[in-house]
Structure 1
Amino acid sequence: MMNEHQQKLTQYLVAFIEELVGNGVDEVVISPGSRSTPLALLFAHHPGVKTYTNVDERSAAFFGLGIAKSKKKPVAILCSSGTAGANYYPAVIEARYGKVPLIVLTADRPHELREVGAPQAINQIDLYGKHVKWSIDMALPESIPSMVQYARSSAARGVSISIGYPEGPVHYNFPFREPLIPDLKQVEFTTGQSGKRVLQGNRQLPADIQHDLQEQIMNSKRGIVVCGPGISEEAVQSITEFAEAYALPILADPLSFVRSGGHSKENIMDCYDTVLRIDECKEALQPDLVIRFGAMPVSKALMLFLKSLPDIPTWVVSKGEEWQDPTARGTHYIQCEENLFCQGFMKNSAHSDREWLDHWKGVNDQAKGLLIQGHQAWDEGMAVHQLIQHLPEGATLFSSNSMPIRDLDTFLFTDDRSLRIFANRGANGIDGVVSTALGMSTGSKPMYLLIGDLAFFHDLNGLLTARKYQLDMTIVVMNNNGGGIFSYLPQAGDQTHFEDLFGTPMDLEFGHAAKLYGAHYFHVASQSEFIPALQEADQTKGIKIIEVITNREENVANHRKLWNFVSREMTQNMKGEWHDSSSE
C-alpha cells in the first residue's frame, strides 16, 4: 500500500507525464541524480516512453536537442537539483534561438530547504531567464483532484508553448520532499490521446494584403528570393514554384533544404557567397526587391551586400512574431506560413521577362565552373567537396560552425539527391556539436558529422552516449591544430599573441579518444586516403572517426588564392551588357 506521501507524489506526477506523452513528448534524456528520482523512475516505467541516460548534463541537453531537430517534435530532458540544471544552459540557449522544442525538467529542493544552506541547492527559479519561452516553479505534489488537474494543465500548456511558432524551450522546476520513491506497483498509465490536446493552425494573409504585395512583385524588374536556415522542408516546393512563376533567382543557404532534393533547382543560385565577394558583380546584381524566408544565411558576403543596398522593399516572411532582421533593412514583416504565402501568389501570376534571372544564372554558372577549375590543392575545402559528393541518397549531414559550415556554403552545389544539412545556428556556438549530431542519428540515417578539432574536443564526452546506445554515425574531423576561422579575421594580422589567444593549438590527434569510446578510427594524411576511409566507414556499424590532418596556414592561403582566381577571371570576362542590363 502507498503511504500518503507516496500517493500524492505518484498520482501528481503520473498525471503530468500522461499529458506530456499524450501531446507527443515520448522521448526523455535523463541525467542521473537523487532529487529527480520520482520523475526518472516514472518515465522509465512508462511503456510508451523511450528513455536515454547521459551522466553529462551539457551533453545530455544537446543530445535531446538533436533528437528534437531530427524528429521535429518536443523532447524532454531531466536532471537533478543544483548545478546540474546550469549545465543545460548552452543547449537551452541554442534551442531558443534555433527554434527547437525542448521540455526542460529540473528537480529542486522543497521550499523549506531553499536559501538555508542545504547541500546541492541553488536558486533555480527562472534559472534560464529570457532564454526559455515559459518557466514555472511547480507546486509540491498533491493528489486532490484540483492539483492533479493543475499538473495536467501545466504539462499541456508547456507543450503548447514549446511547439507554438517560433518553437523553443520551456522550463519546469519540480520541488520534491523526501522520500523520493513513487510506488510503481500501483501505477497504471493510460494510453492513447491526451485529455488536453494542443491543436495549432497556420497563418494566412488576408486577400487585400496579398493583392497589394502581388502588385509590388509584378512591378519589380530585379527581385531576388533569399532562403536561410529554419524554412520548413514542406515549404521548399512552394518557394521554388513561386520563384519560377515570377522569374526570381533564389539565393539558397546550405541549411535551407533548398539546394538539394527532388524539386526544381532551375532558379537556385548556389555560388552567391563567392560572387558577392566581387565588387563588379555586386554592382551589376543589385536588386529592386528582396524577399527573405528563414533566418539570415551563413554568408557574410551576402549579409554585407544586403546591408549595402539602397532603400528598397525588403520582405521578411516568418510564421510568427519573431524579429529576424539583423540588417535592419526590412520594410515589410510578413507573418504567414511559407507554404500559404507562396501559394497565394500563384493565382494570376505572369512574369514573362526572364532577362534578370538569366543574368543571375550566367554569373552563378561561371562562378561554379571557376571554383571547380581553380580548386586543385588538397585542403579542407577539397575534403568537404569530396565528402558532399560521397554522401548517399537520403543522408543527413550535421555541420559544426566556424569553417566547416562556410566550406559547405562554398562547395555544396545544387543536387538532385535528397540530402538534409543541419547545424546549430541559433547561437552559432561550437559546444555540444557531437552530442547534437548523435541525437539526430537516432532518427536520421545514414548520419554524418563534419567538425573541426576544437569543437570535437569540446564535446568528446558525447561519444559515451554513442557507445552506450550503439549509435551509428560517421564523424569527419578536420584537424588543423586549432581555431581555423580566426586565421581569416583581422586579429590574424598581428602574430604577437595570435597563436596563444586565437589559434589555440592543442597538438592532439584523436586515435586514443576513439579507442576510449570504442569507435572505429581512420587517420587521413593525404587525399588518396580520404575516399577509401569514407568507403570503409560506410561498411562499418557504430561510430566511425575519420581524422583528416590539415594545415591552417595552407588552408587560408588556398582559400584566398581560389577567391582571387575566381574574382580575377570573372572581372576579366564581364561583358558590358551586364552593366547595361542592371541599370535599365
Structure 2
Amino acid sequence: MNHQEALTKYLAAFITGLVQAGIKDVVISPGSRSTPLALMFSEHRDVNVYMNVDERSAAFFALGLAKASGDPVGLLCTSGTATANYYPAIIEASLSGVPLIVMTADRPHELRDVGAPQAIDQLHLYGSHVKWFAEMALPESGVEQLRYAKTTAIRAVKEAMVQSKGPVHLNFPFREPLLPTLDPYPFEDEASISIEEGILFLPYEKLKKYAEQLQGIERGLIICGQIEEPGFNEAVTTLAKKLKFPILADPLSQLRSSSILETTVIDSYDAILRVKNAVATLKPELIIRFGGTTVSKSLSLYMKSLNDIEQIVVDSGSHWRDPNYVGTTMIHCDEKAFCNELATLIQEKTSSSWLSKWLKMDEVAKSTIRKHMQLVEELEEGKAVFELVNLLPVDSTVFVGNSMPIRDIDTFFHKNNKNISVMANRGANGIDGVVSTALGAAVYKRPLFLVIGDLSFFHDLNGLLMAKLHKLNITIILLNNDGGGIFSYLPQFGEPKHFEVLFGTPTGLNYEHAVQMYHGQYTKIFDWEGLKMAILDSVSYEGLNVIEIPTDRERNLSSHREMWEKVSQEIYLILQDVEK
C-alpha cells in the first residue's frame, strides 16, 4: 500500500471514530499541513464544515457551536503560530466546561527543531488547559493502525464529554505528499465502540442526613450560578419550594426566564445586598451553592462575609468552585439528582417569614428599578438593557458580552415566562472572541441577540466574517460609550490624570463602515422609540443586523448610582418597618 492510500485509510478511520462518537460540526482554518484532514472532513457526508480564515475567531466560533448545541465540536488548523491563536478560546472552554476536539497539524518529527518553516513545539502546547493530549502516530497502513486511529478519536470525544467537560488536543504529524484519495468515497460504515456513562449519586444514608439537617433550618439560601444541566431548574425549584429557601439566581442559571412561575427565585439580590443594613439583617444559617461563580460582586462579598456558617457546594465535575474560601462541604455528585433525591426526603414547610422577607425586598427593589428606568429619557446603557428585555421575543437567546453588559443583564433581566436563554463566556471573563462565540451559538439558537460593548466588539470585528460566509442570522446590540465603561465603576476612576489614556481608551470609530464591509444591516439609535422599532424589525431580518446605541460613560455611572441609592432608601424603609 502506498503513502496516499495509507494516509486516506488512517484518516478515514479516525474521522469515522469522531462521527460515531458524536461529532457533527468541524471548524477549519486554511493551511497546507492540515490539508489531509481538511479534505477528508469536507468529504464526509455527515460532517458540517465551517471555514474561518482566522484561527482565533475560528476557535471561539467552535466554542459557540459547542455551547449552544451541547455536543463536542472539532477544530482544525495548520502548524506553527496558527495553533497559538487557539489558546484564548481553549482557556475559555477549559474554565467553562465546553467540549472541543482540537486538532493541530504538525511537521513530522524529522523537521522539528531544525529550522524548518512553520515548525514550533506543539507538544502539550496548551498545558493544563486541555483535559487530555495525544501526539498522533504518523499515518501508516495495517489493521492495528486503523484500530488505533479510530479508537483514539472515540477516546478523545469521551475525554472531552465526561464530567467535567472540556477541550482535548490531538497533534497530527504529516509527511508529504499531503493529498488523500477522495474517489471512491473513503468512508465505510463500521461497528462503533460503545461508551456507557452514569451519574454520581450520594448514598442514601448521606442524603437522609442532609434532609434531616435542612428540615430544621429556617433561614437557608440556595445560590445558583451558571449551570446547563437539563432538568436542573425543575429539580432545584422543587427543592427550594419544599424548604422555603430563596434561590438567588444568576442570569446564567437560566432560572429567571421560565414557564415555571411559582418559584422562590430572587433576581434583584445585587441591588438588595448593596444595602449594609440588609446584609446585616439577611444572615442565613446555611447556604447551598450550585454552578459557576456568580456575576454580582455584592453577592460575592456577602458570601465572603458569611464565613461562620455552613456553605455546601454541590458540583458534578471535578471543580473547586470556592473563590472566597468559605465552602465548608464540597459534594461531588450530579446536581439534578441531588435536588430530586433530597426533595423526596423533605416534608414541605407551610410558610417562612425568612422567604417572605426576601420576596418583599426583591419586589420593592424591582419596582424601584422599573420606576427609575421609566424616567430615563436619554440614551443610557442600563435603560437599553431594560428595554431590550421587554422587547425580546419568546424562546429567544441573549448572548452577553463581559464587563458592563453582563452586569446590566444581572441588574435588569428580571423574572419572566418568555423562556429566554442567557449565554456568555464567563470562564475567563474575557472580552476577546465574543462576536465569534455568539455567531457559533447562532447556528443552533434562533433568534439570537448579542449585547456587547464597543471595545469588545472592536476586539473581534473580524468574527463578523462568519455571518457573511455562512449566512448566519444575528442581531447585535452595540452599546457604544466610546471606551471601557466598566472602569468608571472601579477605583481607577478616582485618578483622572491618566484615566482616559489607560482605562477610558476611547477609539472614536465609525462602526457603520465595518458592518457594511461584512454586508450587514446597520441602524443607529437616537431615541427609545427607535430602539423599539429596530428590535421589532430585527426579528424578521435575515443576516447580520447591528443596532448601535451611543451612550455617555459618565451619564451611565450617575444613573446607576442614582438608581442604587433609590433602592437603598426603599429597602431601608422596609427594614425599619420590620424592626417596629
Common fold: TM-score over 0.5: yes
Q: What one-letter code is carried by the residue in structure 1 that aligns with 2:362?
A: N
Q: Which residue of 2 aligns with 1:293?
A: 290
Q: Which residue of 2 aligns with 1:540?
A: 541
Aligned runs of 1:413-452 on 2, under 5 Å? 413-452=414-453
Q: Which residue of 2 aligns with 1:331?
A: 328
Instruction: State the 1:411 CA deviation.
Output: 0.4
CA contact (8 A) 1:239 1:339 kept: yes
Q: Which residue of 2 aligns with 1:10?
A: 8
CA contact (8 A) 2:79 2:119 kept: yes
Q: Pick from 261, 266, 273: which aligns with 1:264?
A: 261
Q: What SS class does the counterpart of residue 173 from structure 1 fall into?
A: strand
CA contact (8 A) 2:365 2:570 kept: no
Gapped regions of structure 1 (runs ≥ 5)? none
Q: Which residue of 1 aligns with 2:76?
A: 78
Q: Pick from 270, 280, 291: which aligns with 1:283?
A: 280
Q: What SS class does the counterpart of residue 323 from structure 1 fall into?
A: coil
Distance 1:91 1:56, change over 3 A: same
Question: Are residues 1:314 and 2:330 paired?
Answer: no
Question: Are residues 1:221 and 2:213 paired?
Answer: no
CA contact (8 A) 2:8 2:181 kept: yes
- Once residues 437 and 514 of structure 1 are traced to their aligned partners in structure 2, the CA distance between those partners, rounded to angstroms, is 16
Q: What one-letter code is carried by the residue in structure 2 that aligns with 1:54?
A: N
Gapped regions of structure 2 (runs ≥ 5)? none
CA contact (8 A) 1:265 1:414 kept: no
Distance 1:166 1:387, change over 3 A: same
Q: What one-letter code is carried by the residue in structure 1 that aligns with 2:478?
A: V
- Once residues 541 and 184 of structure 2 are traced to their aligned partners in structure 1, the CA distance between those partners, rounded to angstroms, is 45
Residues 351-392 of structure 1: CA distance to partner in whole angstroms, max 9, x if unpaired? 234111111111111111111112322410011011111111
Q: Pick from 34, 50, 60: which aligns with 2:48?
A: 50
Larger mean CA deviation between 273-282 and 317-326 belongs to 317-326
- Once residues 58 and 296 of structure 1 are traced to their aligned partners in structure 2, the CA distance between those partners, rounded to angstroms, is 25
- Once residues 512 and 199 of structure 1 are traced to their aligned partners in structure 2, the CA distance between those partners, rounded to angstroms, is 52
Q: Which residue of 1 aligns with 2:105?
A: 107
Q: What SS class does the counterpart of residue 12 from structure 2 fall into?
A: helix
CA contact (8 A) 1:259 1:265 kept: no
- Once residues 404 and 297 of structure 2 are traced to their aligned partners in structure 1, the CA distance between those partners, rounded to angstroms, is 13
CA contact (8 A) 1:14 1:42 kept: yes
Q: Which residue of 1 aligns with 2:390?
A: 389
Residues 90-115 of structure 1: CA distance to partner in whole angstroms, max 9, x if unpaired? 00000000100001000000000000
Question: Are residues 1:196 and 2:197 paired?
Answer: no
Q: What SS class does the counterpart of residue 497 from structure 1 fall into?
A: helix
Aligned runs of 1:339-358 on 2, under 5 Å? 339-350=336-347, 351-358=349-356
Q: Which residue of 2 aligns with 1:90?
A: 88
Q: What SS class does the counterpart of residue 309 from structure 2 fall into?
A: coil
Question: Are residues 1:550 and 2:542 paired?
Answer: no
Question: Are residues 1:39 and 2:27 paired?
Answer: no
- Once residues 242 and 99 of structure 1 are traced to their aligned partners in structure 2, the CA distance between those partners, rounded to angstroms, is 25
Question: Are residues 1:361 and 2:359 paired?
Answer: yes
Q: What one-letter code is carried by the residue in structure 1 that aligns with 2:14?
A: F
Instruction: State the 1:265 CA deviation.
Output: 4.4
Distance 1:177 1:21, change over 3 A: same
Q: CA RMSD in A?
A: 1.2
Q: What SS class does the counterpart of residue 481 from structure 1 fall into?
A: coil
Instruction: State the 1:320 CA deviation.
Output: 1.9
CA contact (8 A) 1:261 1:415 kept: yes
- Once residues 12 and 307 of structure 2 are traced to their aligned partners in structure 1, the CA distance between those partners, rounded to angstroms, is 59
CA contact (8 A) 1:449 1:474 kept: yes
Q: How many residues align?
A: 576
CA contact (8 A) 1:434 1:462 kept: yes
Q: What SS class does the counterpart of residue 134 from structure 2 fall into?
A: strand
- Once residues 572 and 236 of structure 1 are traced to their aligned partners in structure 2, the CA distance between those partners, rounded to angstroms, is 33
- Once residues 258 and 537 of structure 1 are traced to their aligned partners in structure 2, the CA distance between those partners, rounded to angstroms, is 26
Q: What one-letter code is carried by the residue in structure 1 that aligns with 2:22?
A: G
Q: Pick from 301, 304, 308: which aligns with 2:301?
A: 304
- Once residues 296 and 429 of structure 1 are traced to their aligned partners in structure 2, the CA distance between those partners, rounded to angstroms, is 14
Q: What one-letter code is carried by the residue in structure 1 that aligns with 2:258?
A: G
Q: What one-letter code is carried by the residue in structure 2 that aligns with 1:55?
A: V
- Once residues 450 and 536 of structure 1 are traced to their aligned partners in structure 2, the CA distance between those partners, rounded to angstroms, is 17
Q: Which residue of 2 aligns with 1:455?
A: 456
Question: Are residues 1:466 and 2:467 paired?
Answer: yes
- Once residues 45 and 266 of structure 1 are traced to their aligned partners in structure 2, the CA distance between those partners, rounded to angstroms, is 50
Q: What SS class does the counterpart of residue 339 from structure 2 fall into?
A: helix
Instruction: State the 1:569 CA deviation.
Output: 2.6
- Once residues 515 and 310 of structure 1 are traced to their aligned partners in structure 2, the CA distance between those partners, rounded to angstroms, is 54
Q: Which residue of 1 aligns with 2:530?
A: 529
Instruction: State the 1:427 CA deviation.
Output: 0.4
- Once residues 352 and 327 of structure 1 are traced to their aligned partners in structure 2, the CA distance between those partners, rounded to angstroms, is 34
Q: What one-letter code is carried by the residue in structure 1 that aligns with 2:251?
A: P
Q: Which residue of 1 aligns with 2:206?
A: 209
Instruction: State the 1:576 CA deviation.
Output: 4.9
Question: Are residues 1:128 and 2:129 paired?
Answer: no
- Once residues 77 and 382 of structure 1 are traced to their aligned partners in structure 2, the CA distance between those partners, rounded to angstroms, is 39
Q: 4+ residue runs of structure 1 moved beyond 4 angstroms?
A: none
Residues 35-88 of structure 1: CA distance to partner in whole angstroms, max 9, x if unpaired? 000000000000010101000000000001101011000000100000001000
CA contact (8 A) 2:268 2:362 kept: yes
Larger mean CA deviation between 53-62 and 374-383 belongs to 374-383
Aligned runs of 1:113-152 on 2, under 5 Å? 113-152=111-150
Q: What one-letter code is carried by the residue in structure 2 that aligns with 1:338?
A: E
CA contact (8 A) 1:453 1:477 kept: yes
Q: Which residue of 2 aligns with 1:174?
A: 172
Instruction: State the 1:535 CA deviation.
Output: 1.6
Q: Which residue of 1 aligns with 2:562?
A: 561
CA contact (8 A) 1:62 1:91 kept: yes
Aligned runs of 1:233-248 on 2, under 5 Å? 233-248=230-245
Question: Are residues 1:577 and 2:575 paired?
Answer: no
Q: What SS class does the counterpart of residue 185 from structure 1 fall into?
A: coil
- Once residues 266 and 52 of structure 1 are traced to their aligned partners in structure 2, the CA distance between those partners, rounded to angstroms, is 41
Q: What SS class does the counterpart of residue 13 from structure 2 fall into?
A: helix
- Once residues 152 and 137 of structure 1 are traced to their aligned partners in structure 2, the CA distance between those partners, rounded to angstroms, is 14
Question: Are residues 1:491 and 2:492 paired?
Answer: yes
Residues 273-300 of structure 1: CA distance to partner in whole angstroms, max 9, x if unpaired? 0000000111111111100110121000
Q: What one-letter code is carried by the residue in structure 1 that aligns with 2:26?
A: V
Instruction: State the 1:190 CA deviation.
Output: 2.6
Instruction: State the 1:346 CA deviation.
Output: 2.0
Q: Pick from 227, 233, 236: which aligns with 1:230?
A: 227
Instruction: State the 1:227 CA deviation.
Output: 0.5
CA contact (8 A) 1:491 1:498 kept: yes
CA contact (8 A) 2:211 2:345 kept: no
Q: Which residue of 2 aligns with 1:412?
A: 413
- Once residues 437 and 345 of structure 2 are traced to their aligned partners in structure 1, the CA distance between those partners, rounded to angstroms, is 44
